Structure 1
Amino acid sequence: MDKNIGRTVPAHPFAGRVVEGIAHPLVRALGAALRFYDAASPYARQKGQEMRDRLSREETLYLLGICPSGHNSTAALVEVSAKNGIRPICNNEEERYTGRRHDDRFPQNALKDIFHYLEKTGVDPAQVLAVVASWNYLAGIPTALRVAAEEAPESFHLARKAASPQMNLWHFIEALGAPKRLSVFFHTERRVPVIGMRHHDNHAFFPYAVSPFARSSRPTLILVIDGFGDDGAMSIYVAEKGNVDLLRRVPHLFDSLGFLYAIISSTQGGWTTLSSEGRFMGATAWGDMDRLTNPYYKRLRQIVYFGPEGEVRVNRSLINYHRRGQLKPYSPRLVEIIGEPIPLEKMWNPDAVLRMDDEKLSEVTQERVDKAAALQMVFEDALFHIVDHFIRLTGSNQLILSGGTALNCLANMNLLERFSEEYYSRYLKKENLRLHLWVPPNPSDTGAAMGACYNFAMSHGAPLGPPLKHAFLCGWGTSDTCIEDAISQAKEMKSMELGRVDQKEDREAIADLLAHIIAQDGVIGLFQGASETGPRALGHRSILANPCNPETLNVLNQHVKYRERFRPLAPMVTLEAAERLFFLSEGASDDHYNAYNYMVLTVRAKPEAVSRVSAVIHKDGTSRIQIVREETDPFCYALLKAMGRRLGVEAVVNTSLNVGTPMVQTPAQAMEALRRSRGMTGLVLIGDTGRAFLVWHNVLQPPKDGGAKLLQWVADWSKPRANVSGT
């Protein structure tokens, strides 16, 4: 790897260490007074020993995980027993309840739902052994003060909320109020103790424990790359036989590859961070992805220093966000390479965001997508550099990616292609071996509260629980009464009951009706059971459409979701259809291709896919697929089988059920999405007993026709069935 000229260390490292050293004991003392502790505290050790004792007595206990402050606030609940190990019960994301994207406030609604569950199931809150937090907030405060001192005086700007709106010093301080706010839920006047768990460890423990590799006798690498943790930029682990050991911690926050990708994608794409990364990755398909010809790649690559032993650092002479955060993120040298950044006040401005309204791109737009491609290639270079070293070090051929960058499904696919059998044969002299990869459905901070529970439990003797088979962990199924009440209260909505999906004959009939509607280019929302944890809709909060019609992409982006035209669509497919239409990687084949269950990996399309399901094939010939299993989602599986009978392919377009909001959580939110969308034909709501309701927006406001077309399709579908029953 080439080295480059620049600076990769802080200007005042000694000053930073002094500030951090002074802050640590003061913050821990403050935390103890507020009953907020870290994992090394006597209180945490006491709770750990209590867990061991209770497990030895074969008791069942619970852990409550929370992200009390900072982006993607969450509340999670797990059950722990000696017999069944660690079992996830729910992972409730606050944004789903409030409708506020990446909600950074205390997860009041998510917690309320958990305690309602405990009450309903007869679990005494006293059975909750401990409350654990998704960050070690007591370490995060000294770390934030250290980085504010390392480039002083300019870096004092980092203490401002606007420098990092999604996660900053003030979020860490605010989190210390969680013990007091929890007292309401536990019906006590005393503060409820909280144990802050190391953030990157949380990202590592949960995905490892539920992965197909957890019971393997071979070593598994775990690579955590996100925006930043409470004590560093990245963490690399090796896990074997249920034990997870830290191999390397990258201490300087601004060596973070996730933060680098977030800042550049935001300031060149025109969207705020957390919303920019996926969009910019999608835009790379229109850019020059050739390292030899891309006009920005060679110079932009200078932003990363590639050192020995897999070392990666960010060149501080090219950035300025280590001093002023998002307020002034570029140095003059970076401006020379990729141009001026879009300022915070212009984010989401139609005149600033990256748009591709025409097939033939303008010169300015082509430059922007070439920058997206250059950033993607630099990120992949750094990722490959790290993975290469640790494969050589450990000899591992199993890798888990976690942290927000693990959602870069394009890099994930290229990683599998890079570390092939040829790589292992050439560099490790090992035959018939290749890299195997697994990524959880919620690798970003939406999974960190759950990870804190697994971290604490596994660190204190709890056995592994079952591997993950599905992601339906956000909340619980909705009662029939709740659905009926929501329909009756919704303005301008009409409905009909379709039957019961818990009965095989009804399920197949309802699935066939939906397949008939979708085959006529109808667009149907689907709401059933608990919603998905993580950012991908996987069949419980989905909008479904025809994958065979090339116009489906434009219809959904322009008339249903109101989003950028270049945003790709993804399919849900049966395993048989996936093998028929796409080049599945052997490196994702563990547990019957479980890695393809969660839309975290792209695949290359076969020629038949390009001709048959063109709506879900991206510009670069890839698709981010989801394989549906009958045992975890019998209704969607039945729908795919019906699509095969109707259109000859067991596939359907699957995008999230939302219009300008986070993924919906409640029937009322689902019907609001139907109301706001111009192009959604109808909505199917399925209650917890299996009763299915078809809802439509009863207004005559073109293109809405009061449900006339939908009702005609239902009538057309019913006629042959009525004739058959009549004979």
Structure 2
Amino acid sequence: MEGCKSHAATYILGISAYYHDSAAALIKDGHIVAAAQEERFTRIKHYSGFPGKSVKYCLEFAGIGLEDVRCIVFYDKPLLKFERLLETYLSFSPSGLKSFLKAMPVWLKEKVYLKRELRRALTEVSGLAPKQLPKLLFTGHHQSHAASAFFPSPFDRAAVLCLDGVGEWATTSAWNGDGAALEPLWQIDFPHSLGLLYSSFTYYLGFKVNSGEYKVMGLAPYGEPRFVELIRTELIDIKSDGSFRLNMAYFNYCTGLTMVNRRFEELFGMPVRKPESESLTQFHMDVAASIQQVLNECVVCLASALRKETGHDKLCLAGGVALNCVANSEVIRRAGFSEIWVQPAAGDAGGALGAALCAWYQLSGERQRNQVDGMSGTYLGPEFSNAEIREALDVSGAVYGYENEETLYARTASLIEGGNVVGWFQERMEFGPRALGHRSILGDPRRGEMQETMNLKIKFRESFRPFAPSVLLDDAKDWFECPQESPYMLLTAPVHPSRRLAEASNAVRGLELLKHARSEIPAVTHVDYSARLQTVGDQGSVRYRRLLEAFKSLSGCPVLINTSFNVRGEPIVATPEDAYRCFMATGMDYLVIGNYILEKTSQPNQEQYLDHINQFELD
């Protein structure tokens, strides 16, 4: 990279686009100012086009124009990716010709000439002439992931592990983070990929690739890992240091239009499950349990080897695989690190942030970092004042009441304690796939029926999928066996033994386990007594913490159900208008938006929102 000019205040804009989860992020003198995923504005989940609205948001939030930005940094190197595509097709020739012919027009039209396409889009967004645009730079894909993991982390020195489907060539990479320096150590290249292995099983189980992997993780505890040896014998060779190779005879993703082939189906004795049309059987649950265990083992081996190689006792994680909170938690328990930090926007969206940070530390000459969590709780998106919220509600014809700060939290806590499901829309939107108390749907975790009610009547999704708990940090160890803070909902923790109820009979299997209450907070306790945990402390959202404190004061329980404010297939809501539409189209009882409270039964014209959920393709 060539250098950015020195400036009193140096702004760098990072962009990820054209693959999936497009996003933009803006940093000022190395500090994260704003970041947003384009899907929140387009309302198209995993949107892959140019993130024009996200770019505009970041600039407007900072009060600058694109001409004030010193560098624009793209999160990978498209020519290297094109090289990998060509080499892969040549290696597997003549198979894959159909896939090759389908991919080439897009690459030749857009991605090979990406610099030109980016300049065109930036000119359109900014109104600047092409010659007036800031310098455009490119980082490596895994370099972006690694920078997003280490530089915002609270660690001065750490090992960094990046795991995803594939970047240009790398699918797994290891890095040494030291102060403001990030040194590459080694990588594993395509087609050998833990991300693509897990996505292949996602496809085989009938879920959507790049979207349904978390369903496999949620399904796994219902099954028995009886196919582990089959997977390890036939599909993946894992060495003692965690390095691995896949047996490509079973996979189709290099050249085909599917993830697995007929030989894969024959290996397991069942065809690929048809999405939405076939029920999930114990077989599918056992397959999910098996691939999750294999993933756990491989990630733990990789992390353990990296611990020995670097001598660091802190680990940073990024890449799409780092969103697998079960594997993350196994790393904490077994890999020898005292603490880990996972980039909350671990997938491609976070690459925009990593690209900007990578450029700052390489080009500015900085040698020091502030040793705090630089993600600001992920609250990096747009926010709306009470005046803006009221205007939006009035346009929608909504009926609402106003609560002041002294009464807002107690009133909302009382609604939740009374068994109501509440949409909670506050302050700046989260960056990343998790709702962390600013764009959330909340419920009482002590009510056993809440999991099914919220899944089927509010989220319109599969009944087996678990909900996550938010817990006050000071109370976390009384309710969960949590080894460290988990502010970003990227770790699992067992419910504390003192809060558990008797186990179900061994005769109860599969989805029948849903009917068995497992703890004092059954709606957030998975069938294996685990929970995907968010701890809320002094560094988190002030409003959300105050609500948790009010609920604890009222009920004695410092835990709330926290799920993202959307329906299945819909991006998390971004604006008051989005929130009101989602509220009206679902079984939510109340909406608390800013200081306004809306009761569903008081709202007019409810029938006009019935088609809302049909706008979104099922994920």
Q: TM-score, normalised by structure 1?
A: 0.76
What are the residue-to-residue correspondences of 1:629-644 with 2, within 5 Å?
629-644=537-552
Q: 1:154 to 1:483 in 2, by over 3 A?
A: same
The separation in 2 between residues aligned to 1:448 and 1:665, in whole angstroms, is 21
Q: Structure 2 counterpart of 1:319, which letter? A: F
Aligned residues, how many?
Answer: 582
Q: How far is 1:309 from its partner?
A: 4.6
1:74–1:93 contact (8 Å) kept in structure 2: yes
Q: 1:440 to 1:639 in 2, by over 3 A?
A: same
Q: Is structure 2 residue 475 aligned with structure 1 residue 570?
A: no
Q: 1:676 to 1:208 in 2, by over 3 A?
A: same
The separation in 2 between residues aligned to 1:373 and 1:171, in whole angstroms, is 40
Q: Pick from 238, 256, 277 the counterpart of residue 351 of structure 1.
A: 277
The separation in 2 between residues aligned to 1:618 and 1:703, in whole angstroms, is 35
Q: Pick from 385, 389, 404 the counterpart of residue 305 of structure 2.
A: 389
Q: CA-to-partner distance for each residue in 1:476-525, whole Å, 9 max, x for gaps?
A: 2113332122111215x3111112x3xxxx2xx21111111111101111
Q: Is structure 2 residue 560 aligned with structure 1 residue 656?
A: no
The separation in 1 between residues aligned to 2:109 and 2:316, in whole angstroms, is 32
2:377–2:540 contact (8 Å) kept in structure 1: no
The separation in 2 between residues aligned to 1:168 and 1:339, in whole angstroms, is 35
Find the counterpart in structure 1 of residue 255 from structure 2.
323
Structure 2 runs not aligned, ≥5 long: 501-518, 609-619
Find the counterpart in structure 1 of residue 123 from structure 2.
183
Find the counterpart in structure 1 of residue 578 from structure 2.
669
Q: Is structure 2 residue 356 aligned with structure 1 residue 456?
A: no
Q: 1:557 to 1:174 in 2, by over 3 A?
A: farther
Q: CA-to-partner distance for each residue in 1:260-294, whole Å, 9 max, x for gaps?
A: 101211221x22112211001110010114xxxx1
Q: How far is 1:651 from its partner?
A: 1.1
1:235–1:249 contact (8 Å) kept in structure 2: yes
Q: How far is 1:699 from its partner?
A: 5.3
2:159–2:312 contact (8 Å) kept in structure 1: yes
Q: Structure 1 counterpart of 2:252, which letter? A: N
Find the counterpart in structure 2 of residue 114 from structure 1.
58
Q: Is structure 2 residue 114 aligned with structure 1 residue 206?
A: no
Find the counterpart in structure 2 of residue 335 from structure 1.
266
The SS at the match of 1:183 is: helix
Runs of 4+ in 1 over 6 A off after TM superposition: 167-171, 700-704
The SS at the match of 1:255 is: coil
The SS at the match of 2:600 is: strand
Q: CA-to-partner distance for each residue in 1:359-418, whole Å, 9 max, x for gaps?
A: xxxxxx000000001111121222122223222222332211110011111111122222
Find the counterpart in structure 1 of residue 207 from structure 2.
271
1:91–1:450 contact (8 Å) kept in structure 2: yes
Q: Pick from 41, 50, 57 the counterpart of residue 97 of structure 1.
A: 41
Q: How far is 1:255 from its partner?
A: 0.4
What are the residue-to-residue correspondences of 1:563-712 with 2, within 5 Å?
563-585=461-483, 588=484, 593=485, 596-610=486-500, 611-660=519-568, 661-677=570-586, 679-686=587-594, 691-694=595-598, 696=600, 698=602
Find the counterpart in structure 2 of residue 25 from structure 1.
none
Find the counterpart in structure 1 of residue 612 from structure 2.
none
Q: Is structure 2 residue 28 aligned with structure 1 residue 45?
A: no
Q: Structure 2 counterpart of 1:451, which letter? A: G
Q: Pick from 5, 10, 22 the counterpart of residue 73 of structure 1.
A: 22
2:100–2:255 contact (8 Å) kept in structure 1: no
Q: Structure 2 counterpart of 1:254, which letter? A: P
1:338–1:371 contact (8 Å) kept in structure 2: no
2:399–2:602 contact (8 Å) kept in structure 1: yes
Find the counterpart in structure 2 of residue 486 from structure 1.
392
2:159–2:177 contact (8 Å) kept in structure 1: yes
Q: Structure 1 counterpart of 2:474, which letter? A: E
1:159–1:168 contact (8 Å) kept in structure 2: no
1:659–1:676 contact (8 Å) kept in structure 2: no
The separation in 2 between residues aligned to 1:62 and 1:210, in whole angstroms, is 16
Q: Structure 2 counterpart of 1:267, which letter? A: Y
Q: 1:619 to 1:700 in 2, by over 3 A?
A: farther
1:222–1:399 contact (8 Å) kept in structure 2: yes
2:32–2:374 contact (8 Å) kept in structure 1: no
What are the residue-to-residue correspondences of 1:223-372 with 2, within 5 Å?
223-251=161-189, 253-268=190-205, 270-289=206-225, 294=226, 296-301=227-232, 302-307=234-239, 309-326=241-258, 329-333=260-264, 335-337=266-268, 339-342=270-273, 346-347=274-275, 350-352=276-278, 355=280, 365-372=281-288
RMSD between superposed Cα atoms in Å: 2.5
Structure 1 runs not aligned, ≥5 long: 1-43, 81-85, 356-364, 421-433, 705-727
Stretch moving more, 376-385 or 272-281:
376-385
1:303–1:314 contact (8 Å) kept in structure 2: yes
The SS at the match of 2:151 is: helix
Q: Structure 2 counterpart of 1:274, which letter? A: N
Q: Is structure 2 residue 393 aligned with structure 1 residue 467?
A: no
The SS at the match of 2:402 is: strand
CA radius of gyration, larger in: 1
Q: Structure 2 counterpart of 1:600, which letter? A: L
Q: 1:516 to 1:651 in 2, by over 3 A?
A: same
1:494–1:696 contact (8 Å) kept in structure 2: no
Q: Structure 2 counterpart of 1:288, which letter? A: E
Q: CA-to-partner distance for each residue in 1:530-572, whole Å, 9 max, x for gaps?
A: 1111111100000010011111111101111111101101111
Q: CA-to-partner distance for each residue in 1:132-183, whole Å, 9 max, x for gaps?
A: 01111232222222212111111334435589x9x98876347440111101
The separation in 2 between residues aligned to 1:155 and 1:297, in whole angstroms, is 30
1:68–1:178 contact (8 Å) kept in structure 2: no
The separation in 2 between residues aligned to 1:675 and 1:265, in whole angstroms, is 32
Q: How far is 1:475 from its partner?
A: 2.4
Q: Is structure 2 residue 363 aligned with structure 1 residue 437?
A: no
1:97–1:665 contact (8 Å) kept in structure 2: yes
Q: Structure 2 counterpart of 1:684, which letter? A: V
The separation in 1 between residues aligned to 2:198 and 2:40, in whole angstroms, is 26
2:242–2:299 contact (8 Å) kept in structure 1: no
Q: Pick from 521, 524, 533 the counterpart of residue 419 of structure 2.
A: 521
The separation in 2 between residues aligned to 1:223 and 1:378, in whole angstroms, is 18
Q: How far is 1:693 from its partner?
A: 4.4
The SS at the match of 1:150 is: helix
Find the counterpart in structure 2 of residue 152 from structure 1.
93
Q: How far is 1:124 from its partner?
A: 4.6
Q: 1:514 to 1:338 in 2, by over 3 A?
A: farther
The SS at the match of 2:445 is: coil
Q: Structure 1 counterpart of 2:600, which letter? A: W
Q: Structure 2 counterpart of 1:663, which letter? A: I
Q: How far is 1:76 from its partner?
A: 0.9
Q: Percent identity?
A: 27
Find the counterpart in structure 1 of residue 402 from structure 2.
497
The SS at the match of 1:76 is: strand
